Amino acid sequence: MSNPQSCKGPVAPHGYACKGRMRLGWVAAVAAVALLAAGGAWWWQQRGAAPAQGQAAGPRFGGGGAQAQPVSVGRVERRDMRVMVSAIGTLQSRATAVVRTKVSGELKALHFNEGDEVKAGQLLAQIDPRSYQAAFDQAQGTLMRDQALLRNARLDLQRYQELKSQDSIASQQVDTQAALVRQYEGTVAADQAQVDAARLQLSYTRVTAPIAGRLGLRQADLGNVVNPADANGIVTITQLRPIDAVFSVPQAQLDRIRERQAGGAELPVELWDREQRQLLARGRLGALDNAIDLTTDTLKVKAAFANADGRLFPNQFVNVRLQVDLLKDTLTVPAAAVQNNYVYLVQDDGTVTQRRLRVGVADGDRVSVEGDLPEGAQVVTDGLDRLREGARVMVIDAQAAAKADQAVQDAGQRRAQMLRNLTPEQREKLSKMTADERRAFLRGLRAQREGAASTASAPASAPAPAASPPPAAR
């Protein structure tokens, strides 16, 4: 055993060894205190769990004098339960259009922004119209010339017909003039068609939206020469309102779906995100496919969604829940209360008893059941693994317990953060303190940091306190 006096004095001959022995001594003392505390806690627990004097000892989880187990409970209720079919689906647009120009030319103007919502017929782009305007003017001039020739030929025919009635002209000349009028009429009709074609080509220089929807990314820039053969076109429009979801349902549900549709019922459909935590949209079942897939024994169906907020996109993956039926006034329990078709029913004397059930459909956090359960009774939802038939329980508020656990976790995190922020000197000093001294030290350190934080967050406009005069001026 080392001499405790060997480390005393102004300069120890073996300073580093003495410090190491002292640190080991402190570690051993702390470990001994921890072992004593653990042993005392175990003895106290065994003493509290022992049966009282004069009382027969019972099983650990039995009734009578056994320790009550803390549990959370839920109510047995009657409610309407939806019969749901879950599936995986994708969203499809009802219409997609690639906006291409119908005439060739230089792209002079763009009247849209990428991602805009556009209406059918809205102007999107402008092609250089000068060559098409010239062709239109030329066709219109030819039409006006031929229309003038037709009017003159008709006047000559009218004169010839008057002279023929007076036997002053031969019939052959009248017939020739009538044929000339019909020739000019055909020419004018052809000219009119040329004018209409030129006007149509000129109108194509204004590129408009063929359908309403949302624009994609621009595929052509100003100054590019575009033509109808461009594969990418100028931009793509996708209709998003409404939008459809395509998914498959088992063949076993097909008869029920057809019966409800034949009766005029609308089958609600819900869309959920990948984690099935957030509801994306609600819609109605629409069309059914005309053949069953033999490889999966399912039938493809389509549901429509208004998508008023525009949060659904084509080709988006979604989880689908189709309601195929509604069970009225069904006995239900929380889904967490059912374990292997059993529930623990809390009795009036504070004990639990097992009840066997027939489990039906699930809707959210509740399931429909058939069994000997009174409406309004309490069934255990948390703590099932600690129970046996006849066990005594103590009902606690699940939310309050969760809040208490969270408070303990937060306090532990704050303590750990405070310990991480200690300097090496503070840690060494803390290791040499007793438990009470450590608690007092940490409380003081916490109060000091909170005071510093409140001082730092004070308004800058607050007047600074007057400085104390030096001792010589007092």
423-426's contacts with Cβ under 8 Å and 24+ in sequence apart are none
What's the pLDDT at 458? 54
pTM of model > 0.75: no
pLDDT at 48: 44
Rounded mean pLDDT of the chain? Answer: 82
pLDDT of 128 > 50? The answer is yes
Task: Taking residues 91-100, report their average pLDDT.
Answer: 95
| Burial readout 79-105 (b: 16 or more C-beta within 10 A, e: otherwise) | eebbbbbebebebebeeebebbbebeb
Q: What pLDDT sits at residue 443?
A: 79
Residue 67: pLDDT band (50, 70, 90) is: confident
Distance CA 329, CA 79 (A): 5
Position 423 confidence tier, pLDDT thresholds 50, 70, 90? confident
Query: What average pLDDT does the segment 5-12 reach?
Result: 43
Q: Is the dihedral of CA 30, 35, 40, 41 positive or negative?
A: positive
Phi and psi angles of residue 105, each rounded to the nearest 5 degrees, phi first: 165, 175
Q: How confident is the model at residue 420 (pLDDT cuts 50, 70, 90)?
A: confident
The pLDDT of 413-418, averaged and rounded, is: 74
* DSSP annotation of 335: G
Is the pLDDT assigned to residue 404 strictly greater than 90?
no
Per-residue pLDDT for 50 more than 90?
no
* Tens-digit pLDDT profile for residues 240-272: 999 999 999 999 999 999 998 888 888 999 999
On whether the CB atoms of residues 287 and 303 are closer than 8 A, the answer is no
Exposure pattern of 110-139 as b/e (b: 16+ CB <10 Å)? bebeeeeebeeeeebbbbbbeebeebbeeb
What's the pLDDT at 397?
72
pLDDT at position 439 is 78
Q: How confident is the model at residue 166 (pLDDT cuts 50, 70, 90)?
A: confident
CB 160 within 8 A of CB 181: no
Is residue 195 a contact partner of residue 141, using CB atoms and an 8 Å limit? no
- Mean pLDDT throughout 153-169? 90
CATH top-level class for 69-82+329-398?
mainly beta
Task: Indicate if the pLDDT at residue 379 is higher than 80.
Answer: yes
Can the peptide bond before residue 13 be classed as cis, meaning omega within 30 degrees of 0? no
Encode pLDDT of 168-204 as tens digits: 888 899 999 999 999 999 999 999 999 999 999 999 9
pLDDT band at 453 (very low <50, low <70, confident <90, very high): low
Q: Which residue has the higher pLDDT, 438 or 71?
A: 71
- The CATH number assigned to the domain with range 84-93+238-327 reads 2.40.30.170
Q: What share of the chain is helix, strand, coil (3-state, %, to 5)?
A: 40, 30, 30
State how far the Cα of 19 lies from the Cα of 366, in Å rounded to an integer: 64
Greatest mean pLDDT among 129-138, 438-447, 458-467 lies in: 129-138
Best CA proximity match to 241, nearest among 364, 95, 105: 95
Please report the pLDDT score of residue 3 as a whole number. 45
**Residue 29: which pLDDT band, with cuts at 50, 70 and 90?**
low
Which region among 77-86, 98-107, 455-464 has the lowest average model confidence (pLDDT)?
455-464
Strand (E) or helix (H) holding 311: none
* Banded model confidence at residue 417, pLDDT cuts 50, 70, 90: confident
**What dotted CATH number matches 100-235?**
2.40.50.100
Predicted local distance difference test score (pLDDT) of residue 120: 95
Q: What's the token pair of residue 233? A: 């076109």
